Amino acid sequence: MTVAPVLFSELASAGGKKVGVATLNKPGALNGLSLEMCRLLADRLEQWEQDDQIAVVVLHGAGERSFCAGGDLQDMYQGMVDNTSRDPWGNLHAREFFDVEYRLDYQIHTYAKPILCWGSGVIMGGGVGLMMGASHRVVTDTTRFAMPEISIGLFPDVGGTWMLARLPGGIGLFLALTGAQLGAGDCLHLGLADYALKAEQWDALMKGVLAVSWQGRRNEDHIALRALLLEMQGPEAIPEGPLQQQLAFIRLSCDGRDFDAICANIAAMAQHPDPWLQRAARNFNAGSPGSARLSYTLLQRVRLLSLADVFREEYIVSLQCGAQGDLQEGIRALIIDKDKQPRWNPARLEDATEAWVQRFFEQPWPVGTEHPLADLGRH
């Protein structure tokens, strides 16, 4: 019996309006996001946006371990293997997946109704893309939030560069280059989440959501949902996370335009007494040098761009990564052969120069072809 990768339900609330609930339903794979799941979510969100009976949408993941751990790397890898031409435009899976995924994420950012995202457990990569645009983002005591793409030869995509470029100087780059994991306290402090609850409060939260008399008017329903979440969160202070505790040190180490100095500073964190910084340094030292340079350059390029323009830029870079970067090798080492011994190219940071990285920003489609996301943000 085939199990649907996304489950949808419409629950009646106290005032007669309905709450739409979308559940990512691949708990064994930490709810990793496939092309089919993106399509299903996009279609249902569009239906619910047009349905006057749906007042609020809730997005969460099945199981207790993860909201969404990222994109489906198996499918991504197979698309690269099948693309024997090594032409970025020839990777049909990547062209379609990133088109659908980026449109879905933009749809969430611009949704006309409140979206409550329950970010409990693992939230990484594509999961961050889903959560980032939700109007009411909840983290819990089990949240592990990260953009760990440097470990597979990619970059913080799904709007991740837009998000990280807007953090205080140096912080976004540190997170991009280390894949450091954040808990609830750090997510709240950086504005990556809005509310913090206990994971065990999920049932109580849904009971509270269904007890609200939703009005079907965007502003009033936003206010009502915020009031409910604040009441459930309570006045108790959220404990500081490790990033908060090391915030000044990280900013001093990672702010500015000296890429080589920043990389040296992060590498040196392996000798820091803080175990969290030590782990961040290990991730950086084992990660793709090309991804480090690409992430740094992207954060500089997108800083003043609109969200739609950032998605258009990331789309180009994502296709290029699928053909000429370290992505295929990174996935091979992590989940295909599982030897965890990627052969990065370039293998050294000094070879991942500013001139080298420019290839990733070349439009891969035929001359005269419009950008596949050209219409994003027009309506």
Domain-wise residue ranges, the chain: 1-146+184-240, 156-176+241-379
pLDDT at residue 1, rounded to an integer: 65
pLDDT at residue 299, rounded to an integer: 97
Alpha-carbon gap, residue 106 to 108, rounded angstroms: 5
On the question of a common fold for 1-146+184-240 and 156-176+241-379, the answer reads yes
Buried b (16+ CB within 10 A) or exposed e, 209-242: beebebebeeeebeebbeebbeebbeeeebeebb
pLDDT at residue 231, rounded to an integer: 96
pTM of the entire predicted model: 0.96
What six digits make up the tokens of 80? 């690269």
pLDDT at residue 376, rounded to an integer: 95
Q: What is the mean pLDDT of each run of 10 residues along the chain (379 residues)?
A: 91 96 96 96 98 98 96 92 92 96 98 98 97 98 97 96 96 98 97 97 98 95 98 90 97 97 98 98 98 98 96 98 92 94 96 97 94 91
Burial class (CB in 10 A: 0-12, 13-18, 19+), 279: middle
pLDDT at residue 15, rounded to an integer: 87
pLDDT at residue 12, rounded to an integer: 97
CATH superfamily of 1-146+184-240: 2-enoyl-CoA Hydratase; Chain A, domain 1 (3.90.226.10)
Residue 151: CB partners within 8 Å, gap ≥ 6?
A: 179, 283, 286, 287, 288, 330, 334
pLDDT at residue 236, rounded to an integer: 86
**What does CATH list as the number for 156-176+241-379?**
3.90.226.10
Per-residue CA distances from 331 to 141, 144, 343 (Å): 29, 21, 11
pLDDT at residue 25, rounded to an integer: 97
